[in-house]
Structure 1
């Protein structure tokens, strides 16, 4: 994997990419969730990097992609992503987005429906307004203060234990959070801004229709928000196949990487 930098007016985005692979007809774009970084997909990158061209980033304002002005929208994130993919000739992208990464993927599908060749949601949820209550959107806009005043040690414990059911997954999330150790204000700002732009994207009430082949993945022990409820409704309303990952948490790709790698591989083979 080669680390590269994409400069924007708000800051520089760091990403890692490998363009040489057995099958170059599709390119895999891995998008980590809020406050996580590119390491979230280590097990997937390791598995796929010789099979398909692969990309993963530290999302704007995350980890190495800092300093970064918190003045961007979810739409801008998807537009920056498209510019990076064009620069690297990722012309047939398949987006695999975990949590917030799944929302970025849906925004990309809204803006560039003709480009996206496949979409995999990992413990994410639909962007369409009809799935979310008014109180949920109201709360999303007010999360920065919660994270700012929550005791840091408790936040570290709950943040890492709450998203994973395995030692590997919990340790990885703790490592992500320790990036912001000693600067809780930055962590709160990062999380708060992420939830805010998510709420604003939902309120735009765009179609957010997935027109390419898609697959939903969700851990049976995913207790982040109402992820399980959202995925059940998403599957029921759209017919998009939904795969439950037994005993996995919100970061199911770190809890059951082998199972998820095989699901993604099978999905890709249907596209090829």
Structure 2
């Protein structure tokens, strides 16, 4: 049974390849602020790595939980961690079922599974509720959590989320097919970067994740409109006009129509990786949102 179950579980193709990835992951982590505490939280679905950042005096504020994008990890938040953690405690999560320090032990089949393990993490870290911030696929996980556990969600910050206000565009799917689903071509395409740094410290960790990690979880289903309309909490969504993953302008129009509480902005010249490429502007906008809605 365990052998059959492993066929449907995302993970590295070999343990030796996972260890090679982690060497470069750890090197990249040295460019991030030093975490005050590092947790490895045991859940029903596996062990979840969480990094805790907080400045003196911010510890009692409403916490912010960061959920990274597909094929990324906590590493992607390097430009954002320090300014955000100066105002409120930040928990950065390496998502289960993604290349990082978390380790999946049980397949994630359902939408609720993705919310359930995060609920367990919050419970074990004694976080009764939090603001969830997600980039790309992380934005989907943030909204997905809010639909199942609204009582534990204080607010949402969504950075060019996918499967929330729109799905992957038909044009992008056609491009993927044309590329033969080559990940070396797909990532630079999605990030609008022909010069993507595959060989530098950050790029190498992503490259090895692309090369050695295999996904077995079902593709997420887009968040139903009724669940979006039921969001009764502060929501900030920044859509990237140069995103090639989806039609960000159409997503922008749809989100403003269906989510009553949303603060939604269309950043015409931003790429899908706006938390990195437009980090100063993104940090400023996030902090203004947090200050407007929460006791910081």
TM tier, smaller: 0.7 to 0.9
2:65 is equivalent to residue 36 of structure 1? no
Once the two structures are TM-superposed, the CA of residue 120 in structure 1 deviates from its matched residue by 0.9
1:207 maps to which of 223, 227, 247? 227
Q: What whole-Å deviation, never above 9, does each CA across 1:65-110 have from its counterpart, x for those lacking one?
A: 2354433433222222122123223334111111111111112111
Q: Mark the runs of 5 or more structure 2 residues left unpaired by the alignment.
A: 1-34
Once the two structures are TM-superposed, the CA of residue 268 in structure 1 deviates from its matched residue by 0.6
Q: What whole-Å deviation, never above 9, does each CA across 1:182-241 have from its counterpart, x for those lacking one?
A: 53xx33x25xx2xx3412x647x7624321111110122111133332222112333522
- C-alpha separation between the residues in 1 aligned to 2:195 and 2:65? 26
Larger helix fraction of residues: 1
Q: Structure 1 length normalisation: TM-score? A: 0.78
Q: Secondary structure at the match of 2:115?
A: helix
Q: Counterpart of 2:292?
A: 270
1:3 maps to which of 23, 33, 38? 38
Q: Give runs of aligned pairs for residues 90-101 of structure 1, distance below 5 A.
A: 90-101=127-138
2:273 is equivalent to residue 237 of structure 1? no
Q: Counterpart of 1:178?
A: 207
Q: Secondary structure at the match of 1:84?
A: helix
Closer, same or farther: CA 234–173 of 1 in aligned 2, 3 Å? farther
The 8 Å contact of residues 156 and 177 in structure 1, kept in 2 or not, is answered as no
Closer, same or farther: CA 260–28 of 1 in aligned 2, 3 Å? same
- C-alpha separation between the residues in 1 aligned to 2:201 and 2:288? 26
Closer, same or farther: CA 180–217 of 1 in aligned 2, 3 Å? same
RMSD: 3.3
The 8 Å contact of residues 49 and 102 in structure 2, kept in 1 or not, is answered as yes
- C-alpha separation between the residues in 2 aligned to 1:176 and 1:78? 26
Closer, same or farther: CA 173–18 of 1 in aligned 2, 3 Å? closer
- C-alpha separation between the residues in 1 aligned to 2:80 and 2:278? 11
Q: Counterpart of 2:50?
A: 15
2:279 maps to which of 234, 240, 257? 257
Closer, same or farther: CA 13–214 of 1 in aligned 2, 3 Å? same
Q: What whole-Å deviation, never above 9, does each CA across 1:39-89 have from its counterpart, x for those lacking one?
A: 111111121223211011111022222354433433222222122123223
Q: What whole-Å deviation, never above 9, does each CA across 1:128-179 have from its counterpart, x for those lacking one?
A: 7xx669x97xx99xxxx9799634xxx2233134225597888787445323
Q: Secondary structure at the match of 1:160?
A: helix
Q: Mark the runs of 5 or more structure 1 residues left unpaired by the alignment.
A: none
Once the two structures are TM-superposed, the CA of residue 112 in structure 1 deviates from its matched residue by 1.7
Q: Secondary structure at the match of 1:243?
A: strand
The 8 Å contact of residues 47 and 102 in structure 2, kept in 1 or not, is answered as yes
Q: Structure 2 length normalisation: TM-score? A: 0.72
Q: Counterpart of 2:88?
A: 52
Q: Counterpart of 1:216?
A: 237
Q: Counterpart of 1:26?
A: 62
Q: Give runs of aligned pairs for residues 150-169 of structure 1, distance below 5 A.
A: 150-151=181-182, 155-164=183-192
Q: Which has the larger radius of gyration?
A: 2
Aligned residue pairs total 251
